[in-house]
Structures are given as C-alpha cells and as structure tokens.
C-alpha cells in the first residue's frame, strides 16, 4: 500500500465546515486575541475541537490548537499556506519584508544569502561584543532592596543586539530607538488598524520611520567597511551566484532581526530568572557550572560546557513560549484535519505547547531533567527547535530569593509574557533581593521577590 494512497485528502463533499463563532458584535474576540487568552485557555478546544474559527480585528481567523493540525499547516506540504500574507495583516507595515514575511523562492533566496552572516566564524566574532556589552551592563546592576529584572534585561538585550548587529553603541539615540522598537512590536495588536495620532498603529508607523532613518546612512558605511558586526556581514553577503541584498533589503532584514532577537531574548531570559528563582536547586547548579569556567566572559568553545543553563532555557521555552502563535493565510482552498478551509482565510497556529492533554491546562512543574542534548541534523522540526541556545552565564550571578516572604504560585506562570498582553507574566515584576543568609540544608523555600 503506497503512502500516497493512505494519505489522500478527502473529497470536497466529505469535508466538514469549520465550527466556531464570531464572538461579540463588532469587536468579536479582539480583546482575547490581544491579551493572550486565546493562547492560554483551552476553552475553545473543549468547545469546538482542534480546529475552529473566530472573528478578531474585523476578519475571520481559523485557529489550530493541537500538534497534528499545527504540524500540517507549518509543514505546508500542500503549499496552501503562505506566511507573508498572514503576518502582513498584523505586522507588515512595521516589519516590511522581513525574512518571516517572505515566501517560496524569494524566501529561500534571501535565506541563502543571510546564512553567510551566520557561519561559525561569524558567530564566534559576534560573541566578544556580546560579552563586553553584558559585562558593562552587569557592572551597573546594583543589588539592593529592589531590582526589577524585566526592564534591566530588556535594556541589556537591546544593547547586546545593537552593538553586535551594528558594531556601535547607541549613545544618545538609545532611548529613541528603544521606544521605536517597542512601538513597532505593540502596533501589531492595535485594535484600531489605521493611523490615528497617539494610538498604537500610528506610533508603530512613526517607530518604523525612526528605525529606517537610523539604519540607512549606516548601510552605506557598512558597504565600505570590514567590520565583524551583523550589518556589515549582511552588506557583504553573497549567494551562490553572486547575488546580494539591496540597501532596502538590508534595512528591512536588520529591523526585523533586531526586533526578533531583542524581544524574544528579553522574554526568555526574564522567564528563566523567574523559574530559577522558584527552583533554587537549579539556580545553584547553573551558578556552579558558570563559575567553573573560571572567567567572566564565556568563549565560543566553552558554550557547550553550560549544559544546565541550556536545559533550563529549553524547559523555560517549553513552559512559556516567547512566540505563542504563528499566522498563515491560505492561497487556495485546502483541507485541515477533515475540515474545509476556504481560500484567502487567515489561520493561526498555537505553538505554546498546543496539546489538549497538557499545554492548555497550565504550565505544570519545571522539569529540566527530562530534556536531552540537541538532536542531530535531519530530525523533526520540533526537536530542532529544542536545540536553540541562548546563554547568558552571568545573568544570575547574584542569588535570587524571596523578598518579604512573598511567594508566587506556579499556575500564575501560564500568563503570556509579551509586550501587548495584560496577562503579564510575573517575571516582568521579578526583582532581585539582597543575598540572604545561608539556610539549613533541606529548606526548600524559593527565591523571588515581587513588586507591590
């Protein structure tokens, strides 16, 4: 029996209509979409199953909430789903022609050129400015009665990204560029999706202009330069046939990469601090592993020695996914798990642990011991994603502990730590307290402090 025969799509008359509802008049489920409830709740799964439709931002959106449905859309073997038209509705004006917003041959062509900026030699060159920036920032982190982790990490990752990507400190422009990044990210979830002065969409458009004006003159300089920063690498990168990015391509990719690296790294590192505070035994294990390197600046060849920190990061991303959902748009009528999906419909995949048996009920306990080393090349996409690494060995040098006896319940961690969400993760209010006296062995009290 051939695989083609066993996996044949149902005939059109056998397909079921997608169940769902439009929600409230006019606004539909826009509020739930923006504040993260559609990601963290399993109510729709229980009510409609793994595939359903809803209305948000004035359009119909089909949602996929189980691994099989998500895999079918993301693997896109039917070539029925496009990434660019899907994401463009949310973030297109602010991250125009970023790699994630390109499709098919154009996406592959841009990716092949961009890969030249991420060779092993290039990555090793990026590490030194990352180390220098992190050391400078951490030297300014003062332990006192209160220390807010999220804003400090946010500034740190922005500084690391700009110095690594552009080879320069932002100087007096730092605040303006930081605001521009934040405005662009938040604009994607604006309820009013046309420019009204003072509202999110309008602020995002202004933020995009600020970033473009900052980058364009620096592209010309990078074309003439020989620096080891990402901007220079993109300017000099060549494809197999000698093709290269235009100046506009470089600006578009830089803005998208700066946003992606800065925002997701902030969420991941801050959430790691939260879980390390809740699980001091892993905090101590990570600290001991980092101190065993015998240096304040980790070398490229030493990254693989930070196994515990790698495990904690993977488990953190399993519990709180930095990007909880992905958007596609159908370019032709197709079938998804026996349901008929019309052409020109936007489709959202929930990738925040989209399993009805586990994920949608809450995050559960942290269990880094269940993770293993990264998979070999050629294994499944979900396994390869687990192998992603972002290490900050110095971030948790100061012990984290409770402050004022305030505790944090594990279920609270289910909130989505994204800029636009009102379901703000407790890690965004995490604060470091002064080191506590050593407690007797066996005292399992956790280490976290919360602002009022």
Half-sphere exposure of 451 (CA within 13 A, CB side): 12
- For 337, residues 6+ apart whose C-beta sits below 8 A from its C-beta are 50, 51, 68, 69, 72
| Residue 13: band (very low, low, confident or very high) from pLDDT cuts 50, 70, 90 | low
CB 10 within 8 A of CB 338: yes
Answer left, alpha or beta for residue 329, where phi above 0 means left and psi between -120 and 50 means alpha.
beta
Cα 434 → chain centroid: 30
The two tokens of residue 314 are 């993977």
pLDDT at 356 (0 to 100): 45
Q: Chain-wide mean pLDDT for the chain?
A: 76
CB atoms within 10 A of CB 193: 18
Look at residue 45 and tell me whether its pLDDT is greater than 60. yes
d(CA 445, CA 283): 13
3-state SS record for 236-276:
HCCCCCCCCCCHHHHHHHHHHHHHHHHHHHHHHHHHHHHHH
N-terminal to C-terminal alpha carbon distance within the chain: 64
* Placement of tokens 């294994």 in the chain: 379
Q: Please report, for residues 17, 309, 323, 356, the alpha-carbon distance to residue 423 in angstroms, rounded to integers and kept in the order given.
A: 32, 26, 14, 21
Nearest to 38 by CA among 427, 418, 434: 418
What's the CA angle centered on 108, arms 334 and 65, to 5 degrees? 40
Residue-range domains of the chain with CATH: 10-95+323-362 (3.30.43.20)
Which pLDDT tens digit goes with each residue over 372-423? Answer: 334 333 333 333 323 322 333 233 333 344 333 333 333 333 332 333 333 2
pLDDT at 12 (0 to 100): 56
What ranges make up the beta strands (E) of 266-367?
A: 325-330, 334-336, 339-341, 346-350
pLDDT at 352 (0 to 100): 66
Range in 175-179, 325-329, 360-364, 367-371 the model is least confident about: 360-364
Helices 307-319 and 247-278, axial angle in degrees (round to 10): 100
Tell me 422's DSSP state. S
Which pLDDT tens digit goes with each residue over 229-242? Answer: 899 999 999 988 88
CB 55 within 8 A of CB 61: yes
Residue ranges of the alpha helices (H) in 279-294?
Answer: 280-291
The two tokens of residue 360 are 């949608």
| Residue 11: band (very low, low, confident or very high) from pLDDT cuts 50, 70, 90 | low
pLDDT at 85 (0 to 100): 93
The two tokens of residue 3 are 């695989």
The two tokens of residue 202 are 């309008």
Look at residue 9 and tell me whether its pLDDT is greater than 70. no
Which pLDDT tens digit goes with each residue over 161-218? Answer: 888 887 776 677 777 887 888 899 889 888 888 899 999 999 999 999 999 999 999 9
pLDDT at 109 (0 to 100): 93
d(CA 35, CA 43): 15
Helices 149-166 and 247-278, axial angle in degrees (round to 10): 150
Which pLDDT tens digit goes with each residue over 412-446? Answer: 333 323 333 332 333 444 444 434 444 444 443 33
3-state SS record for 212-225:
HHHHHHHHHHHHHC
Q: Please report, for residues 33, 105, 312, 322, 452, the alpha-carbon distance to residue 421 in angstroms, rounded to integers and kept in the order given.
A: 9, 35, 24, 12, 19
d(CA 114, CA 244): 9
Q: What percent of the chain has pLDDT over 90?
A: 37
Nearest to 111 by CA among 3, 277, 253, 216: 253
d(CA 167, CA 377): 31
CB 387 within 8 A of CB 11: no
pLDDT at 191 (0 to 100): 83
CB 354 within 8 A of CB 38: no
């Amino acid at each position: 029996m051939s695989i083609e025969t066993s996996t044949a799509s149902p005939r059109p008359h056998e397909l079921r209509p997608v169940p769902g509802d439009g929600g409230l008049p006019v606004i539909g489920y826009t509020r739930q979409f923006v504040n993260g409830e559609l990601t963290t709740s399993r109510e729709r799964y229980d009510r409609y199953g793994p595939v359903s439709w809803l209305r948000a931002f004035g359009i119909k959106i089909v949602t996929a909430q189980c691994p099989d449905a998500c895999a079918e859309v993301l693997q896109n073997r039917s070539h029925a789903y496009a990434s660019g038209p899907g994401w463009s509705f949310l973030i297109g004006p602010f991250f125009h022609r970023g790699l994630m917003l390109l499709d098919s041959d154009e996406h592959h062509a841009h990716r092949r050129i961009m890969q030249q900026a991420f060779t092993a030699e290039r990555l090793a060159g990026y590490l030194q400015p990352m180390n220098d920036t992190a050391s400078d920032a951490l030297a300014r982190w003062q332990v006192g009665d209160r220390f807010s982790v999220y804003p400090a990490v946010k500034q740190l990752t922005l500084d690391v990204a700009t110095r690594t990507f552009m080879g320069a400190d932002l100087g007096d422009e730092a605040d303006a560029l930081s605001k521009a990044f934040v405005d662009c990210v938040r604009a994607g979830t604006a309820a009013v999706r046309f420019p009204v002065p003072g509202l999110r969409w309008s602020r995002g458009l202004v933020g995009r202009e600020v970033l473009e004006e900052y980058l364009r003159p620096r592209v010309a300089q990078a074309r003439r330069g020989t620096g080891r920063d990402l901007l220079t690498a993109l300017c000099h990168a060549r494809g197999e046939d000698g093709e290269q990015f235009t100046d506009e391509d470089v600006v578009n990719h830089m803005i998208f990469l700066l946003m992606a690296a800065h925002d997701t790294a902030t969420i991941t590192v801050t959430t790691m601090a939260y879980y390390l505070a809740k699980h001091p035994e892993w905090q101590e294990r990570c600290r001991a592993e980092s101190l065993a390197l015998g240096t304040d600046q980790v070398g490229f060849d030493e990254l693989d020695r930070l196994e515990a920190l790698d495990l904690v990061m993977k488990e953190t991303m399993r519990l709180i996914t930095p990007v909880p959902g992905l958007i596609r748009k159908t370019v032709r009528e197709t079938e998804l798990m026996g349901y008929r999906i019309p052409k020109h419909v936007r489709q959202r995949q929930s990738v925040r642990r989209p399993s009805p048996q586990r994920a949608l009920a809450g995050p559960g306990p942290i269990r880094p011991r269940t993770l293993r080393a990264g998979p070999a090349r050629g294994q499944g996409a979900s396994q390869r994603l687990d192998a992603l690494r972002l290490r900050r060995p110095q971030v948790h040098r100061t012990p984290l502990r409770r402050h004022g006896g305030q505790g944090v319940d594990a279920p609270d961690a289910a909130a989505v730590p994204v800029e636009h969400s009102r379901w703000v993760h407790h890690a965004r209010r995490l604060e470091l307290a002064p080191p506590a006296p050593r407690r007797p062995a066996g005292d399992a009290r956790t280490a976290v402090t919360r602002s009022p």
